[in-house]
Every structure is written in C-alpha cells, then in structure tokens.
Structure 1
C-alpha cells in the first residue's frame, strides 16, 4: 500500500507502478535468498517456504497485479495492460536472475 501510494504520487496513477516495483523487488529477494539458502547455508525446506511464501509472498502481490491488469482491459487500455503483464514478467524474471547472480558473486 505504501509503495503504491508513493509511486502514484511520484509517477501518476495511470499505471500500477507500485505493484510492479513491489513484485520486482520481491523477485530479486527470492532469487537471492533461495540461492543463499540452497547453495551456502543449506536452509531447511520448511524455512525456505516460510520466507519465500510467507514473508516475501506476503510482500509481493499477484492478486493486485491480476486485478489491475483486468481493470486496464475493462477501461479499454489494452496497451497499458500489455505493458503491465510484460514488465511484471520480463523485469521480474530479470530481477530474480540478478538476485541469483549477485548471491553467487558474494
């Protein structure tokens, strides 16, 4: 909520920037955490699930992403809906990959 409010004030409310930011940050965190948890610390699968699904999953928001995309489509703004899906997927995967790479580097 706070990130979405900040992003709307900063960039405008025509596009769900806040949800995009939160999802990308969450992807980076999951990539980095899972790499460290499985390659360095050997964290139990239960703790990995707790952190990724419980904590980071509570931070990111697929349901908001879905609703905001459908809302853009209902408003006949197919281009922004396409951008929303594309950016969340492509930048999200890139952030996960970056998190994995940086975790392996350090």
Structure 2
C-alpha cells in the first residue's frame, strides 16, 4: 500500500456501533413476556385437567403435543409466508410456545411415575410424548405448507 492509500483508509469516519446489550435487551424482554404468557396458559391447563397420582399425565402430554403442532404452523408462516418483525419469533416461538410446552415437567412426570411404582406408565408416557410431539410438528408443517400451496393463485 502506498502512502496516499494509507491516508485515505484512515480518513474514513467510523460508524459507532450500539452496544450488544442494547440490541439484545428487547429480545430478552419479549422472550420473558411471552414466556410468562405461555407458562400461565400451561398452568391454567394443569389446573383444569389435574393428573391423578400414578395416572397418565394427560394435561402435560396434550400441552406438549398441541404446542409442538403450533410451533410447526408458526415456523411455516414466518418463514414461507410472512416477513415478521424481528421480535415476533422470539416473543411467540421462544417465549409463548417455549413457556407453554413443558418438557421439563415431562421429565419430572416420568420420574414421579417410576418412583411411585408405575414404570410401565412412565415408559409409555416417555415414548408416547416423544412420538406424538414429533409427529405433531411434522404433520403441522406438512399440512400448513399444503394449505398455503393450495391457496396460492
């Protein structure tokens, strides 16, 4: 590099960057807000449909299956159809649906069933939830894409 070229490189003004925390703060806030909404909805479902001691935890099962199906539809909509605002995905996908689905409670329910002497029910719950949740996502994505394709002119 020659001397005049070196001076022209130095003469460029530097564009100030926003600190990383300032760009991430809105994302963290909407995830927290969405998580509170989703967790509240999940809690309401558990109150509405309590699990009997040693029984199959249907409320948690269906919460996870329905949540996974909604995640499948949501991801198709925001990736194939709609250019969503940058905070929609963290709010609804990570926050609301992440707070609504509850795979930690799923694990605790399995442990409780095994500890209470119901290992078969725990194993059935483990396998059924995994199979149903993955099937729900796959089916929701497939149906959403077909519906969107069918509706296109």
TM above 0.5, one fold? yes
Q: Find the counterpart in structure 1 of residue 118 from structure 2.
A: 77
**Aligned structure 1 segments of 4 or more residues deviating by more than 2 angstroms:** 1-8, 42-47
Q: Which runs of 5+ in 2 are unaligned?
A: 1-42, 148-153
The answer to whether the aligner puts 1:3 opposite 2:45 as a matched pair is yes
Give the drift of 1:45. 5.5
Q: Tell me the number of residue pairs that the alignment of Structure 1 and Structure 2 aligns.
A: 103
- The one-character-per-residue Cα deviations of 1:56-104 (angstroms, maximum 9, x if unpaired) are 1111111211111110111121111111111111000111011101211
Q: Which runs of 5+ in 1 are unaligned?
A: none
Does the aligned pair in 2 maintain the 1:28–1:96 contact within 8 Å? Answer: yes
Out of 117, 132, 153, the residue aligned to residue 91 of structure 1 is: 132
Which protein is bigger by CA-based radius of gyration?
2
CA distance in 1, matches of 2:107, 2:57: 11
Pick closer, same or farther for the CA change 1:45–1:89 going to 2, 3 Å.
farther
Secondary structure of 1:15 counterpart: coil
The answer to whether the aligner puts 1:62 opposite 2:103 as a matched pair is yes
Provide the aligned C-alpha RMSD in A.
1.7
Out of 6, 9, 18, the residue aligned to residue 59 of structure 2 is: 18
Does the aligned pair in 2 maintain the 1:4–1:17 contact within 8 Å? Answer: no
The answer to whether the aligner puts 1:37 opposite 2:37 as a matched pair is no
Greater share of helix residues, 1 or 2?
1
Pick closer, same or farther for the CA change 1:17–1:29 going to 2, 3 Å.
same
